[in-house]
Amino acid sequence: MDLEEINTVAVLGAGNMGHGIAEVAALAGYDVCLRDIKEEFVQNGYEQIEWSLGKLADREQISEADADEALDRITPLVDVGAAVGDADVVIEAVPEKMDIKKDVYGEVEEHAPDRTIFATNTSSLSITELSEVTDRPEQFCGMHFFNPPVRMQLVEVISGAHSSDETLDAIGGLAEDFGKTPVRVHKDSPGFIVNRVLVPLMNEAAWMVYEEEATVAEVDSTASYDMGLPMGLFELTDQVGLDVGLHVQEYMHETLGEAYKPCPMTEEKVEAGELGKKSGKGVYDYEDGEGVEIP
């Protein structure tokens, strides 16, 4: 499929990444169906998009008219058939669990037209394995955005073992049309490039605090002031979501070995529902808006 033939994009999953990707696609002029399994999830994603577009307009990064038009292009849906039935591209951003993603592809396959390209926003899982549950593995590749999608420039376009050049070109072109910079990742390895490097950094920071070798404040001030990162590693952990980070760490641990063992501090926080900014508490406490260090 050529880029000119792509008009309608279905985004599956209305969480942090899904609603951000839907916003990016709508801002670029595409008609977007945003789908999640429950009305409240889709509604919440839609409200986050409204907030984000309002924020971009307040900061004069887009006009009020651009914000209104982008919102009008987004249709929130629960019915998967309605969401993907006329999609040229499906971008899947459901939770980072192999079984969940495979179930979703089984369902989507039934309703998507033959022409539709499937692009997964997986952070780490095997593109090849996911593609093999569909009957179109050559029309399948990775399209990995970064949080928050509306602000982050990079998109990894990852080739699975069966992805065709035509598919990779179409998805790379789509990322460019979204105003992003695609980087082609030719090898489908756990965590691809960015998460293979970044997630161990975040995990190592958690181990240092867990083993009382450093405090959260020490690590974060070092990261943002001395290493030149745009935010502290724990601020980033909270922004990405501890659950999302843990899923990636678990997969990397399982596939790459002991060096990638997740820190128990992360596991305990996820178990307690302390998932980061989105739940109001993670490494920092966001009850009063700004993140405050937990004593």
146: contact with ligand 3HC by CB under 6 A: yes
Cβ proximity to ligand 3HC, 123 vs 203, nearer residue: 123
- Which of these ranges, 75-83, 143-151, 261-269, 272-280, lies near ligand 3HC under the rule CB under 6 A? 143-151
Cβ proximity to ligand 3HC, 75 vs 123, nearer residue: 123
Out of 29, 47, 55, 273, name the contact with ligand 3HC by CB under 6 A.
55
Determine the Cα–Cα distance for residues 291 and 232; give it in Å rounded to an integer: 12
- Beta bridge partner(s), residue 141: 119
CB closest to ligand 3HC, residue no? 123
Out of 37, 62, 152, 183, name the contact with ligand 3HC by CB under 6 A.
152
- Beta bridge partner(s), residue 156: 144, 183
289: contact with ligand 3HC by CB under 6 A: no
Determine the Cα–Cα distance for residues 241 and 53; give it in Å rounded to an integer: 21
Longest dimension (CA), the chain: 55
Query: How many C-beta atoms lie closer than 10 Å to residue 190's C-beta?
Result: 19
Determine the Cα–Cα distance for residues 189 and 186; give it in Å rounded to an integer: 9
Question: By rule CB under 6 A, what string of x and - marks binding of each residue 104-133 to ligand 3HC?
Answer: -------------------x----------
Determine the Cα–Cα distance for residues 170 and 154; give it in Å rounded to an integer: 16
Cβ proximity to ligand 3HC, 38 vs 151, nearer residue: 151
Determine the Cα–Cα distance for residues 13 and 41; give it in Å rounded to an integer: 8
Determine the Cα–Cα distance for residues 48 and 135; give it in Å rounded to an integer: 34
Out of 75, 134, 159, 195, name the contact with ligand 3HC by CB under 6 A.
195
Site for ligand 3HC (CB under 6 A): how many residues?
17
Out of 43, 128, 147, 222, name the contact with ligand 3HC by CB under 6 A.
147
Question: By rule CB under 6 A, what string of x and - marks binding of each residue 72-111 to ligand 3HC?
Answer: ----------------------------------------
230: contact with ligand 3HC by CB under 6 A: yes
242: contact with ligand 3HC by CB under 6 A: no
Residues 34-53 that bind ligand 3HC (CB under 6 A): 52
Q: CB-based contacts of 291: which residues, under 8 Å, 6+ apart?
A: 235, 238, 277, 284, 285
Torsion of CA 120, 122, 127, 133, to 10 degrees: -70
Token output for 215: 């405090």
56: contact with ligand 3HC by CB under 6 A: yes
Distances 215 to 133, 199, 220, 245, 269 between C-alpha atoms, Å: 44, 19, 9, 20, 16
Q: Tell me which residues are annotated as active site.
A: 123, 144, 156, 195
Interface contacts to ligand 3HC, rule CB under 6 A: 52, 55-56, 123, 146-148, 150-152, 195, 198, 230-231, 236, 240, 244
